Amino acid sequence: MASIKVILWEKKKTENEHPIVIRITKDRKSTYLYTGQYVAPKYWDETERRVKSTHPNATILNQLILKKLAEANGQLLESEIKEDYESISTIKRKITGKKKTDFFIVADQYLDNLLKSEKYRQYNTQKNRIKKFKTFVGKQDLAFREISVALLRKFETYLLHEDKKAPRTVVNYLMVIRTVYNRAISDSQASKDLYPFGKGKIQIKFPQSEKIGLSIDEVKLLENSNELSPPQQHAVNLWLLSFYFAGIRFGDLLLLKWDDFKDERLYYRMNKNQKYDSLKIPEKAKAIMGFYSQFSNKNNLVFPDLGETNLNDKKALLSRTQSVNRNINRTLQRVADNLKINKKLSMHIARHTFGNISGDRIPIQMLQKLYRHSSVTTTINYQANFMKKEADTALDKVINF
C-alpha cells in the first residue's frame, strides 16, 4: 500500500525558502514530486500540511497543493487496482509524464530565485542569455524534449558566426541552458532520457582564454606618469593599488574601508567566493593611500567613487559599481594610448599583470593564497598563461645548435 504526504523539504533552495514537495512512499521506498513552489518555514503549517494564511499567496499555493495531491492520488489509485505490480519509480514517471513542462517557465523560476537571493549581476547576465535563446528558437514555448543536440549545435553556430560571440561566451550560454535543464530534472519537471548534455552529446569545455598583462617596464610607466588630469591620476591610482594587492578585483577595491587596514595589513573578504584573507600593505600602496586619507564619506570608504550609494542596496550598488568600472576603464585606455602602451588597459588587466610578473617566481600554493582562489587547480589553469620560463628553455635547447 502506498502513502502520500505533502512536506516542506529540509534543504533550502534559496536563502530563506524551502521547496514544497509531495512524498510518495511504497514498499518502504520514497520518491518526491516537486511542486516548483517555495516558502519560508514560518509560513508552513506542519500539522495541516499547508501554507499558513499569513502568506500573501496562501490561497493560490494551497489550491496548487491540492491539485498536485489529486493528480498524485489519482495515479496511485490506478496503480493499486492494477493486477501488474508497478514500482514507485514507474508511478512517479506516470505522474510527472502527465504534464508538459516548458523550458522558459523553469527558466523564469530560476531567474526569480536569483532575484530573491539578491544575485543581481548573475540575474542580469543570465536573463539576457535566456532571452537570446528564446529569440533564436523563435517561439514562446519550448518543451524540454525539443532541446536536442542538433538544436544546441545550431544555437552554438549562430552565436559564434552570426552573433560574433567569443568561444568562452558561447560556453556561458550553453551553461545556463544546462543549469535550467538540470533544475527541471531535479524538480521532476523533465526527464533524463533526452538530456542533451554529456559524453557524445553537448560537452561543456572552457576554451583557454588569452591573458596578457603589462610588463615591469610598462607598470613603471604608470607609476612614473606625470601631467595626468585628476580623473586620469585617480584611475591610475586604482589600477596600481589593485596590482599592489595581488590583483584585487575592482568591486572589492571600491568597497575597502579604512577599518579594513590594521597593524600594517589589509583584511578583507572577497565578494566573488567569500574567501577571507589579509595582505601586508606595500610601501608603494601606502603612498597612494595617503592621498585619499584627506577625503571622507559617510560609508568610511577609502575611495570616493561609490559616493552616497546605499551599500545595503545590492542592486543599486551593482549598478553604480558597473558604471564606475566603465568610466575608469575608458580613462585607463586613454592613459595607455598617451604613454604608448600598446596593450588593452583595464582594471582587470591589473590581475593579469600580477600573474605575468610573478610568472614562475612564486610557488603555486602561495599564488593560490594571493589570488584568493578556492582551488589550486584554478590557480594552475590561470597561471598557465604566464609561466613561460620552462617552455622557453626547452625551446632554446632544441633550436640553439
- The CATH number of whichever domain residue 348 belongs to comes to 1.10.443.10
Residue 150 domain-assigned (yes or no): yes
Residue 279 lies in a domain: yes
- Alpha helix (H) ranges present in 261-346? 283-292, 314-338
Is 399 a member of any domain?
no
Is 203 inside any structural domain? no
Which range is least confidently modeled, 32-36, 146-150, 259-263?
A: 32-36
Rounded CA gap, 167 and 161, in Å?
Answer: 10
Nearby residues of 187 by Cβ (< 8 Å), 6 or more positions away: 19, 34, 36, 106
Percent of the residues in the chain that have a pLDDT greater than 90, as a whole number: 36
pLDDT reported for residue 262: 87
Residues 178, 197: contact at Cβ < 8 Å?
yes
* Structural domain ending residue among the three candidates 43, 76, 97: 97
User: Is residue 88 domain-shared with residue 118, that is, in the same domain?
Assistant: no
Residue 359: band (very low, low, confident or very high) from pLDDT cuts 50, 70, 90: low
Statement to judge: residues 376 and 241 lie in one domain: yes
Give the number of domains in the chain: 3
- Is residue 209 domain-resident? no
Task: Report whether pLDDT(386) > 50.
Answer: no
Do 70 and 128 share a domain, yes or no?
A: no
Task: Examine the domain organization and report whether 177 and 256 are in the same domain.
Answer: no
What is the average pLDDT value for the chain, to the nearest integer?
83
Q: Give the per-residue pLDDT at 181.
A: 95
Domain-embedded: residue 161: yes
Per-residue pLDDT band for 27 (boundaries 50, 70, 90) equals: confident
Identify the domain containing residue 107 by its residue range. Answer: 103-186
- Domain final residue pick, 34, 62, 97: 97
pLDDT band at 325 (very low <50, low <70, confident <90, very high): very high
Quick one: 35 and 165 in the same domain?
Answer: no
| pLDDT tens digit sequence for 152-169 | 999 999 999 999 999 989
Residues 337 and 264 in one domain: yes
Same domain assignment for residues 134 and 282: no
Give pLDDT tens digits for 103-152: 999 999 899 989 888 888 899 999 999 999 999 999 888 999 999 999 99
